[in-house]
Homo-oligomer: A and B are copies of this chain.
Amino acid sequence: MARLRQLLPGAPEGEVWFGDDAAVVRACPAGPLLLLATDTVVGDLDADLSLTTLSDLGWKAMAVNLSDIAAMGGTPAQAVVSVVGLGPDDLERLYEGVVAAANEYRCPVVGGDLSAGRQIVVTVAVTGTVDGPPVLRRGARPGDAIWVTGPLGASAAGLRVLRARGLPDQRNEQPNGPGQPDEEEKALMAAHARPRPALAAGTVARRAGATAMIDVSDGLLADVAQLTDQSGVGFELEEVPVAAGATGEEALAGGDDYVLVFTLGPARAEPVRKAFAAAGLPGPWLIGGCVEDPSRHFLAGAPVQVRGWEHTF
């Protein structure tokens, strides 16, 4: 993207173009701030279509975009959905998931486009609003604490379970037999199939004074490094909350969790915990802090290799 950036003009004062989870713009000079994001899900690249239903693919295409709004501390407003490569019946299945996510997160689909094609491509663009300054990736300062809004690794663990078991209608299993996934495995597969954007947590974190925020799409370490790099600081992580049934490596590098990472001034632990509790939200979890040296990437007292989700199979 570095060469592309040279082609693109810079944002005016008060707006953010490129480089964050969503763009921050004013649709008209005196109008309110608008968030604008787009993300594409490519069949068999972002989702293994032998392990993902079309309905779940539709949900995911919405969820990854809604998560971009969450990572700014915003509230989604509308979505438009472009679909390539699906016939009418498959399109309806995809839209079941699209509409389920749109309803769940109150982000109506107001327009779209359909095209033929040799590969399934679902591109969503979302608008959002924010009733105060949005939280950018670049605002973390040395000394800020690093928090996450949920345990990590569930999506990667869910994919691991799915790879072992197949989709429910592909399973040849006896009731209560050994082939039946247990509750924990079901929860992991659900976390992979229908990731939940942390919209409520993002707003609470913003109002509690978050200095920077990003969603975990590429993997915790990769996304923490993205946030701290853009802020010009380093990180020292201590312990990371791991989703039940996930491995430590899945929590650190699994990706597609759509948990939020945010930073907060050092004296803000008590207020942010109270704010999350008051909103009926679990957490947040303190996982480490920001340090002055931008090259310092530490986990549990030792240097750590930043690694993340590979978007290939």
Contact = CB atoms under 8 A, between A and B. Distances in A.
Given A84-B42, A110-B11, A32 B27 contact: yes
A116 B112 CA distance: 22
Contacts of A45: 115-117
* A34, A39, A117, A312 interface centre (most CB from chain B within 10 Å): A117
A71 interface: no
Interface string A120-155: 010101011100000000000000000000000000
A250 to B, nearest CB: 23
B84 A36 contact: no
Contacts of A99: 7-8
B23 A27 contact: no
Interface of A: 1, 3-4, 7-9, 11, 15, 17-18, 22-23, 25, 27-28, 31-32, 34, 36-40, 42, 45-46, 77-78, 80-82, 84, 88, 91-92, 95-96, 99, 103, 108-119, 121, 123, 125, 127-129, 311-312
Sort A-B residue pairs by CB-CB distance and give the 7 closest, nearest first.
Answer: A125-B125, A23-B110, A123-B123, A23-B111, A38-B80, A17-B110, A40-B82
Nearest to A92: B3
Copies of this chain present: 2
Contact of A32 (B31, B80, B88): B31
B28 A111 contact: no
A80 B21 CA distance: 12
Contact of A27 (B9, B27, B42, B92): B27
Contacts of A80: 23, 36-38, 125
B42 A116 contact: yes
A18 B129 contact: no
A116 B44 CA distance: 10
A110 B32 contact: no
Contact of A4 (B32, B77, B92, B119): B92
26 contacts: A3-B88, A4-B91, A4-B95, A9-B103, A15-B110, A17-B110, A23-B111, A27-B27, A28-B32, A36-B80, A38-B80, A38-B82, A38-B111, A38-B112, A40-B113, A40-B121, A45-B116, A45-B117, A115-B311, A117-B119, A117-B121, A118-B118, A118-B119, A119-B121, A121-B121, A123-B125
Given A4-B95, A99-B7, A117-B121, A111 B27 contact: no
B7 A95 contact: yes
A123 B82 contact: yes
A293 to B, nearest CB: 30
